[in-house]
Amino acid sequence: MLPTEQGTGKTSGKEWIKNAFILKLDGNFDEYAFIEAWGRNADKVDLINPGYRVKVDVNFKSREYNGKWYAQHPQAYNIEIISKPEPLQKTGLDLGNGENEDDLPF
C-alpha cells in the first residue's frame, strides 16, 4: 500500500481521498499493476494485507491533448477480498521462556 492522499477540490471545495496500491497479477510471470482507489473504495484498500487474494474491477481511461493520447492509472470501482492466507500452525515445539541463556531447545 502506498500512503493515503486527501485534500479539497480547488473548484468544487469537496473533500477527496485517494489510496493507491500495487497488485501482483496471477500468471506465470511476476507482473504487477498500479491501481488507484478513490472515495469509498480508498477505505477498502486499508483492509487488504500482503498475501490476500483480491478481485479488483477497474476502469481504464485515456485523454487526448494536442494530438497525443495519455493513459491514466487504472481506477478501482470495486474491491473484493477473495481469500486470506492461512494462519501459521503451532508446531508444539517448546522453545522455553528465554530467561536462561543455557536453556536451549537443542
pLDDT, tens digit (0-9, with 9 covering 90-100), for 44-65: 888 888 889 999 999 999 999 9
In angstroms, the CA 27 to CA 48 distance is 20
> Does domain 5-83 correspond to CATH entry 1.20.1070?
no
Domain ranges of the chain: 5-83
Calculate mean pLDDT across residues 79-87.
Answer: 87
Cα 41 from Cα 55, distance rounded (Å): 13
| 75 and 35 Cβ atoms separated by less than 8 Å | yes
Average pLDDT, integer, range 35-47: 90
Residues contacting 76, CB < 8 A, separation 6+: 35, 36, 37, 41, 45, 56, 57, 58
pLDDT of residue 49: 87
The C-alpha cell that represents 83 in the structure block: 481469500
Beta bridge partners of 75: 36, 59
Q: What percent of the chain has pLDDT over 70?
A: 82
User: Tell me, what's the pLDDT at 72?
Assistant: 87
Question: pLDDT grade, residue 31 (50/70/90)?
Answer: very high
